[in-house]
Structure 1
Amino acid sequence: MNPPCFELRGVQVRLGAASHIQALTDIYLRIEEGERVALVGANGSGKSTLLRTLHGLQRTSAGELHTPAHQRVAMLFQRPHMLRFSARRNIQLGLWLQGVPWRQTDALALAALERVEMAPLAERNARALSGGQQQRLALARAWALRPAVWLLDEPTASLDPHAKREVESLISEFTAVGQRDATGLPSGRPTTLVFSSHNLGQVKRLANRVIYLEGGRLLADLPVHEFFNRDLLRSLCPQAHLFVQGESL
């Protein structure tokens, strides 16, 4: 049996210079390989902090976080950081920083751009691209690394409807297939997705499990069909029920 992708036991996270902001409190969570987990909750509920903690960008203040060694994780932010280079060079540098020999990065970068239908923009300055194009480039940059786990923080929140559909379609494609080995062939291992979103329709389309956070606490952890069963959710977690009602108005 494979170990879980992530296991958190009583994790707490404090933020701020004096660590006076309690961002996460007593988080117990286990995410298995191949799961598609949505994090939902109001702004400030702890979704982004939890994603950053899973990726190792945020240190825990207490508790335990366990992840398998050598697990390749890609994280995408709502507004991806673009370097002052071409779209192609942005992907090349990402590959090179992960240990891919520079002479191999050009072909891999072009293949990634073709995968997101951006090959004609390969030499365009990445910072001159539209928001939707930058998010597609960020997805291509991550896909080129063949990650086992995708962590996405509101990946379509700042995009127009057309760009949202394009990016969501790519997310679905990239995470629906299994992991690939160094040659690009299927490895037989499933891909894991953990993402935050306020778009409940997107949660229904992409997730098979929903976690509801409020005030840094995990209040509900349910299969997607149970989370969107209004009567069941009302009885299991009234706070989550009110959140869903509010987001659905």
Structure 2
Amino acid sequence: MTLKIEAKGLRYAVGGAGILKGVNLAVGRGEVVCVTGPSGSGKSTLLRALNRLVEPDEGEVYLDGVPTKTMDPLALRRRVGMIFQLPALSGETVEEAILYGPRLLGRGADVADLLGAVGLDPELASRSPQSLSVGQQQRVSIARALALEPEVLLMDEPTSALDEAARDRIEGLVRDLNRREGLTFVIVSHDLGQVERLADRVVLVDAGRTAGEWDRDEFDGGGSEKVRRLVSGRS
């Protein structure tokens, strides 16, 4: 496996309370890795540490073997994009929302192609983002990230606020982008059904530490039950 993004020994505390307590994560190029675990275990903080939305107190994150702390944070975030649980789109139109990042770099992007890539009608480009459903807004968020041509896409509970149909569309989009573009994904999810549907590998985080790791076959063969017990609070 050729590593694309890697975290080693990440520690992070707020007000003396440890959130990450030595987390390790290794993601191969073109992999879909799902990170799961109980609420409050540090999953979202780990995700934010991967593109320096938070700065770890200890440990290192590497992108293609290069420490990310040596990189300009904005340049890093263009290569390692982020999709949040709830979409937050700026601009008066969908087109403006998608072009926000490219315009900061002094370049454009093909909005119609990007909307098509996420399964949306290009005619939505002139609509207000707030006039769209939450599921459509989430796909616009993905189009906005794709406009910067990222190498890795981080997704933090991307479908938890969506209905089943919208969730299925986002999951199909992840599979399509991974297969067609070779895009690497790190997805935080508490939805174990989603984890089983999407993951090439599953990483369990518990109490700020890496507590287990399985490939797809190992997870289907028994790892999922351990994770299910922990996430549900059963012993």
TM-score tier, shorter chain, comes to: 0.7 to 0.9
Q: Which residue of 1 aligns with 2:31?
A: 35
Equivalent in 211, 215, 218 of residue 223 of structure 1? 215
The answer as to 2:170 corresponding to 1:144 is no
Q: Give the distance between the partners of 1:210 and 1:59, measured in 2 at CA.
A: 24
Q: Return the TM-score normalized by structure 1.
A: 0.81
- Cα shift at 1:28: 2.4
Q: Give the distance between the partners of 1:247 and 1:194, measured in 2 at CA.
A: 24
Could you list the per-position Cα deviations for residues 144-203 of structure 1 after superposition, in whole angstroms to 9, with x for gaps in the alignment?
A: 22211111111111001111111111121112223xxxxxxxxxxx32111011222211
Q: Which residue of 1 aligns with 2:71?
A: none
Is residue 45–residue 215 contact of structure 1 (8 Å, CA) maintained in 2?
yes
The structure with the largest alpha-carbon Rg is 1
Structure 1 segments unaligned to the other structure (5+ residues) = 179-189
Equivalent in 196, 202, 207 of residue 210 of structure 1? 202
Give the letter for the 1:127 counterpart.
Q
- State the number of aligned residues: 222
Give the letter for the 1:50 counterpart.
L
% same residue: 35
Secondary structure of 1:64 counterpart:
strand
The answer as to 2:165 corresponding to 1:162 is yes
Is residue 85–residue 159 contact of structure 2 (8 Å, CA) maintained in 1?
yes
Equivalent in 161, 186, 209 of residue 194 of structure 1? 186
Q: Which residue of 1 aligns with 2:102?
A: 95
Q: Give the distance between the partners of 2:19 and 2:162, measured in 1 at CA.
A: 27
Secondary structure of 2:20 counterpart:
strand
Give the letter for the 1:110 counterpart.
A
Structure 2 segments unaligned to the other structure (5+ residues) = 67-74
Q: Which residue of 1 aligns with 2:114?
A: 112
Q: Return the TM-score normalized by structure 2.
A: 0.86
Task: List, as ranges, runs of 4+ consecutive aligned residues in structure 1 with deviation greater than 3 Å.
Answer: 68-71
Q: Which has the higher contact order (CA 8 A, sep 6+)?
A: 2
Q: Give the distance between the partners of 1:228 and 1:243, measured in 2 at CA.
A: 16
Give the letter for the 2:204 counterpart.
Y
- Cα shift at 1:8: 2.1
Could you list the per-position Cα deviations for residues 98-129 of structure 1 after superposition, in whole angstroms to 9, with x for gaps in the alignment?
A: x242xx33xx1222123222312111111232
Q: Give me the CA root mean square deviation.
A: 2.3
